[in-house]
Structure 1
Amino acid sequence: MSAPELSPAAETASSRLSVRVTALCWVLVLLDGLDLFVYGATLPGVLADRGFGLTAVTGGTIGSLTTFGMMLGALASGVVTDRIGRRKIILTGVVLFSFASAACALAPSVGFFGGARFVAGVGLGGLLPSAIAMVMEYAPPWRRNLAVTVVMTAHQAGGALAGALGMVIVESLGWRSVYWIGAVPIVVVLPVVAVLLPESLTFLLAKGKTERARAIADRFSVPLDAFAPEPDPGRRGGLRGLFAPSVRATTLLFWVASFAGLLLVYGVNTWLPTMMRANGYNLGSAISFLLVINVGGIAGMLVAGRLADRFGSRPVAITWFALTAAGVGLLALKMPLLVTYVVVFLTGGWLFSAQTLIYASVGAYYPADSRATALGWVSGVGRLGAVFGPWLGGILVAGGLSALGFGVFALAGLLGAVMVSLVRRLPKPVVLPRRTQHA
């Protein structure tokens, strides 16, 4: 389907609106990442608070409970958002994790604290796929994959911010103070987003809400035709649309690939310092590898987005998963420290963006009226890998099999590459270049 030809003024207006939506969603995903990773950053302080009574075992259970909440939030939002809209789910997610953060700050008991983290997980899991769907629907076709990867850099930045807050604030002001910071979005960010973030025009048109879509298009001076969903009277939207004969196998393949991708992300992020220390590196270097791999993740997403816009998200995802497998496998070898840092950085660049490219790929395989459902479910099913990866790494480390752990995580990368490679190819869309379309 060819992109409609736009006048220079209309193209500029559409580009500005895309930048606005991407920037707002970037901030929201930053807060999502901050609230997700703040638990790990504050956990040492919570465990040290003898009066609170959290044990290491219970702390691990609460971490899993948060991930389980994220899975439920992603699955539920994936169904609901294609019915009520992206904007409502995004705003609801901010409300949930902000209130939950305040509840953590006030928690009188470990049980109350665990319940609040579960609620936070529901909000966090629901926000991310809806934000990605929103960004994809407003981004011009020639930079759609880049827009997704740019937004996902915010997740890594949120993790880095959580770590910085944990180091700077916990010791001086206590662990509860960090959770009070996590409650700030509902007062500061939510009102701004509620005013500035429009509903998805593609969603509104897919649902037949033309007048409301036209009002938004007129407000931002953008051509409504540029957001019209591709007509297909025979398709089914929502959850049923994921199992239509044309995409049934694709749905299952993306689910398994997401499982492998999030198993890698959470498994490696959780156990990399421990496995590297068991591999002969000192404690300081082992911990620094975690920072390096996440910095590599931010850089890798920006590179992957540009490559995916040029060559397609599917082939880049396949390559990135395969390179992740090679990089993780190399870490089982004892190498010179500088070489190890380079390998860790590159592996981070491939590892985190491989999972992000699954999200970008999913958006291209489903119509507007089931896209957010597809993203929600691929994220939700993938969360099973987020639970399984840290558990599997713990079993291997506890058994003194850290070197084998690198091999197992490398196999997960190969599994992701194989699953995405089995997804059928889409015909390359005809997209007019940004400037030559006015020639």
Structure 2
Amino acid sequence: MVMNLTKNQFRTVAAAIVASGTDDLNVMFLSFSMSSIIAEFSLSGGQAGLIATITNLGMLFGGLFFGVLADRYNKMTVFKSTLIVFSLATALIFFAPSVGWLYVLRFIAGIGVGGEYGIALSIMAGIVPANRMGRISSLNGVAGQVGSIASALVAGVFLSALGWRGLFLFGLFPLLVVLYLQFFVKAEPSEEHQAVAPLTISHEKKDSQELKQGKKPSIGDLFNTPQIAKQTILLMVMTTVQIAGYFGMMNWLPTMMQNQMGISQNNSSLWMITTIVGMSIGMLVFGKLIDTIGPRASYGIFLICSAIAVYLFTFVQSEITMLFGGALMGFFVNGMFAGYGAIVTRLYDSRIHSIANNTILNVGRAIGGFSSVIIGMIMDGSGIPMVMIFLATLYLISFAAMMMIGGLKRSSYQQKTEPVSLVTE
């Protein structure tokens, strides 16, 4: 992947990718400390589950709030602010005297995490050639998987010695990224002018006129015409399925395997590792595909294969097939995650990139997060095969939504990857 980036641009993109990895590093700390938190605060299952729910609500609020700020003002400044917010809120959990304070701090941390994602993609989209954005977006997704693995390693080494509270002190790590950005990365020309007038792509006449008239970017821009509103809603459906499938796979399948096959906890952990490896490879492949054959064909292949892979996992009968099936399922199911940042930056004007990315993904997070509850109810009432049919059906619904989104065919999509002039006032 050859790109003519300056040294400063390379540093900016690299820092944005690393920052995205620290998101998952912080979020996953909760998974590894949950049992200790339940024991210390004597929480019920509902009270414990509320911690994750509150975090997701914080992500939704942060995505909307910081997305608007980033598109109206200086993206890099707002980006660094999101890192500071979730870093400090995560570390302050060390001092949480009660579950009430834990809820508050997780909500604040969620605000920062929800804001960071779309701004990072928007910053990268302003630097990276458009016909390479799929591959860069895939690296952004892989960074999240690396963050999850790093979280597991940190927990394995330090949890017993420092306790669950000490684990959250590692949440200060993103501050190193902030310091790096502050002292080693200079503002790109687009960032220097962003506070005065957001960038706009010149082939969008309407948006250029709105810019000249001083209209500020807002969430309403995602719904300002019937066509754009339809596109936004359909993308929200797709991201909801994406998150629902991920949560269903990572939260419930290890438990299913332990119950159905008598798989030990250690082997289910090995399954998670191979699945994450499959996810990472899938993201890299999908990023290449979307830049090469376009999003409609790429998503069509991966969505259909996801439905098939999830359903076939029902027939797993041995540890070998379990590991292979998990890697294959992860390859398709979460490989697609790499593409959303790329297509959103094509389908929406650059003046609302942060808003579009943050709003669409975090609505998907908020709604898709309820899949764990739905899957639990299906398991209680109908068993594992019905759960897998439910998940497979979700991917078929996402496929139908994708087919209704205009501008995803290779011909129309690649027209938007041609160099465009950026208008500043």
TM-score above 0.5: yes
- C-alpha distance after superposition, 1:301-348 (max 9, x if no partner): 111111111112342123212211111111111344323322210211
After TM superposition, the structure 1 stretch with the greater mean CA deviation from structure 2, 168-177 or 191-200, is 191-200
Q: State the AA in 1 paired with 2:162.
A: L
Question: What CA distance in whole angstroms lies between the structure 2 residues aligned with 1:137 and 1:272?
Answer: 39
Q: What is the RMSD computed on CA atoms of the aligned residues?
A: 2.5
Find the counterpart in structure 1 of residue 383 from structure 2. Answer: 401
Q: CA 1:205 to 1:254, structure 2 compared with 1: closer, same or farther past 3 Å?
A: farther
Question: What CA distance in whole angstroms lies between the structure 1 residues aligned with 2:383 and 2:239?
Answer: 25
Find the counterpart in structure 1 of residue 182 from structure 2. Answer: 194
Return the match for 1:272 from 253, 267, 275.
253
Q: Which runs of 5+ in 2 are unaligned?
A: 211-216, 420-425
Find the counterpart in structure 1 of residue 60 from structure 2. Answer: 71
Task: Answer whether contact 1:300 1:350 (CA < 8 A) is retained.
Answer: yes
SS in 2 for 1:247: helix
Question: What CA distance in whole angstroms lies between the structure 1 residues aligned with 2:53 and 2:109?
Answer: 12
Return the match for 2:236 from 231, 255, 258.
255
Quote how far apart the aligned CAs of 1:154 are: 0.9
Quote how far apart the aligned CAs of 1:400 are: 5.7
Q: CA 1:334 to 1:105, structure 2 compared with 1: closer, same or farther past 3 Å?
A: same
Matching of residue 244 in structure 1 with residue 218 in structure 2: no
Task: Answer whether contact 1:296 1:346 (CA < 8 A) is retained.
Answer: yes
After TM superposition, the structure 1 stretch with the greater mean CA deviation from structure 2, 283-292 or 366-375, is 283-292
Question: What CA distance in whole angstroms lies between the structure 2 residues aligned with 1:318 and 1:202?
Answer: 35
Quote how far apart the aligned CAs of 1:121 are: 0.7
Find the counterpart in structure 1 of residue 205 from structure 2. Answer: 233
- Aligned ranges 1:363-378 → 2 under 5 Å: 363-378=345-360
Return the match for 2:11 from 17, 20, 31.
20
Quote how far apart the aligned CAs of 1:394 are: 2.0
SS in 1 for 2:316: coil
Q: Which runs of 5+ in 1 are unaligned?
A: 1-7, 211-226, 434-439
- Aligned ranges 1:30-429 → 2 under 5 Å: 30-49=21-40, 52-186=41-175, 188-199=176-187, 201-202=189-190, 209=197, 229-235=201-207, 237-245=217-225, 246-283=227-264, 284-399=266-381, 401-425=383-407, 427=412, 428-429=414-415
Q: CA 1:430 to 1:74, structure 2 compared with 1: closer, same or farther past 3 Å?
A: closer
Question: What CA distance in whole angstroms lies between the structure 2 residues aligned with 1:366 and 1:200?
Answer: 21
Question: What CA distance in whole angstroms lies between the structure 1 residues aligned with 2:382 and 2:156?
Answer: 30
Question: What CA distance in whole angstroms lies between the structure 1 residues aligned with 2:133 and 2:149?
Answer: 25
Task: Answer whether contact 1:253 1:420 (CA < 8 A) is retained.
Answer: yes
Task: Answer whether contact 2:75 2:123 (CA < 8 A) is retained.
Answer: yes
Q: CA 1:308 to 1:424, structure 2 compared with 1: closer, same or farther past 3 Å?
A: same
Quote how far apart the aligned CAs of 1:268 are: 1.5
SS in 2 for 1:242: helix
Question: What CA distance in whole angstroms lies between the structure 1 residues aligned with 2:89 and 2:14?
Answer: 24
Question: What CA distance in whole angstroms lies between the structure 2 residues aligned with 1:299 and 1:391?
Answer: 29
Question: What CA distance in whole angstroms lies between the structure 2 residues aligned with 1:267 and 1:75?
Answer: 25
Instruction: Give me the TM-score of the superposition, normalised by structure 2.
Output: 0.88
Q: CA 1:281 to 1:314, structure 2 compared with 1: closer, same or farther past 3 Å?
A: farther
Quote how far apart the aligned CAs of 1:167 are: 1.9
Quote how far apart the aligned CAs of 1:119 are: 0.7
Find the counterpart in structure 1 of residue 214 from structure 2. Answer: none
Instruction: Give me the TM-score of the superposition, normalised by structure 1.
Output: 0.85
SS in 2 for 1:139: coil
Q: CA 1:370 to 1:209, structure 2 compared with 1: closer, same or farther past 3 Å?
A: closer
Question: What CA distance in whole angstroms lies between the structure 2 residues aligned with 1:274 and 1:16?
Answer: 47
Question: What CA distance in whole angstroms lies between the structure 1 residues aligned with 2:328 and 2:184?
Answer: 37
